[in-house]
Amino acid sequence: MTEELYLADDTVTTFEATVDRALDDRVVLDRTQFYPTGGGQPHDTGTLRVVDGEREDRWRVVDVQKTDAIYHTLTPVDAGDDTDGEAASDPGATAGGEAASDPGATAGGDALSPPEPGTAVVGEIDAARRAAHSKYHTAQHLLSALLLNEFDAPTTGNQLYDDHAHLDAAYDRFSEADLDRIEARLNELVADARPVTSYAMDRAEAEETLDPERTRIDLLPGSIEELRIVEIGSAGADEAGLGVDADPYDRTACAGTHVGDTAEIGEVVVTGRETKGSDEERVRFALAEDLDGDE
């Protein structure tokens, strides 16, 4: 198994790891900050680097999927693509000189091979894409909690991207007035600057002590024995100081990435709704910063 560093601290964007396995164009690392596709949140992208003395090999991480481990799909970065490397402008920098006659080859020759098992690598995730996912994901938690609290409408699904998102809820039909109220409430919750925290909890304990409708533990595979609980605090939870928030606004089992404080989300706009069949509604939303201003 890969150690999932983003579960402990989803603010870190650079990390060191060792290659466990290499399969064609994919590698498994012993630890990673790359979030794999799951829970309605797309995977991270970024780079992996191997630094060996003067020489640096670099790959783009173009896909991240979790099955028995976390697989990073790599494409080699050609020296010519490397916008920040001075070495790229110096053809003499390639190893041994022979490679210089082939502009497609990076130092060491076979640019298509991923790093070998045992190789130390430096990973760097694309921070802007991750930050967008974290904002949309946290906004989705707020929306799920408010639809349950104020409309008795449990979330049945959600999908986010880096510039828009949608959420499905079991509900007959949201009116225009409902959507206006949902948007206004969402932005109040954002403005409250509520803290977002997470901690691990044994599944049996969680099933015994937490509200099943809110935590939705039943949706998780039975093989998962330790849950990550994500809470969005009650209003004023920051002032209350450390300790257990007896009545958080939202408390969900979730392995995604989130912002640390709801104010980081910024203004949220409900962009529309559609029916998803009987008693199911889809609500579309986006951050104001991602809209053209003609909304």
Q: Which tokens go with 174?
A: 């949201």
CA distance 73 to 2: 15
Contact range with Zn ion by CB under 5 A, out of 20-28, 132-140, 190-198, 238-246: 132-140
Contact range with Zn ion by CB under 5 A, out of 16-24, 111-119, 131-139, 186-194: 131-139
The 266-285 site mask, x for binding Zn ion (CB under 5 A), equals --------------------
CA angle 86, 112, 22 (to 5 degrees): 115
Number of residues located near Zn ion, criterion CB under 5 A: 3
Cβ burial, residue 181 (10 Å; 0-12/13-18/19+)? middle
Backbone angles phi, psi at 219, to 5 degrees: -80, -10
The answer to whether 40 contacts Zn ion (rule: CB under 5 A) is no
Task: Name which of residues 67 to 126 contact Zn ion (CB under 5 A).
Answer: none
CA distance 168 to 145: 13
Q: Which tokens go with 249?
A: 């606004």
Chosen residue from 42, 57, 256, 273 binding Zn ion by CB under 5 A: 256
E strands, 41-92, are 46-52, 55-66, 70-76
Minimum Å distance from CB 138 to Zn ion? 7
Minimum Å distance from CB 256 to Zn ion? 4
Q: Of 24, 27, 61, give the one whose Cα is nearest residue 44.
A: 61
Minimum Å distance from CB 278 to Zn ion? 28
Q: Which is nearer to Zn ion, 35 or 174 (CB)?
A: 35
**228: β partners:** 200
The answer to whether 254 contacts Zn ion (rule: CB under 5 A) is yes
Q: Are 145 and 248 in contact (CB under 8 A)?
A: no
Q: Which is nearer to Zn ion, 137 or 282 (CB)?
A: 137
The answer to whether 253 contacts Zn ion (rule: CB under 5 A) is no
Q: Which is nearer to Zn ion, 98 or 213 (CB)?
A: 213
Q: Which is nearer to Zn ion, 181 or 228 (CB)?
A: 228
Q: Which is nearer to Zn ion, 66 or 137 (CB)?
A: 137
Strands 31-32 and 3-4: parallel
**61: β partners:** 46, 74
Task: Name which of residues 195 to 234 contact Zn ion (CB under 5 A).
Answer: none
Minimum Å distance from CB 40 to Zn ion? 9
Q: Which is nearer to Zn ion, 181 or 216 (CB)?
A: 216
Q: Number of C-alpha atoms within 13 angstroms, CB side, residue 291?
A: 15
Which residues in this chain contact Zn ion in the complex, by CB under 5 A? 137, 254, 256
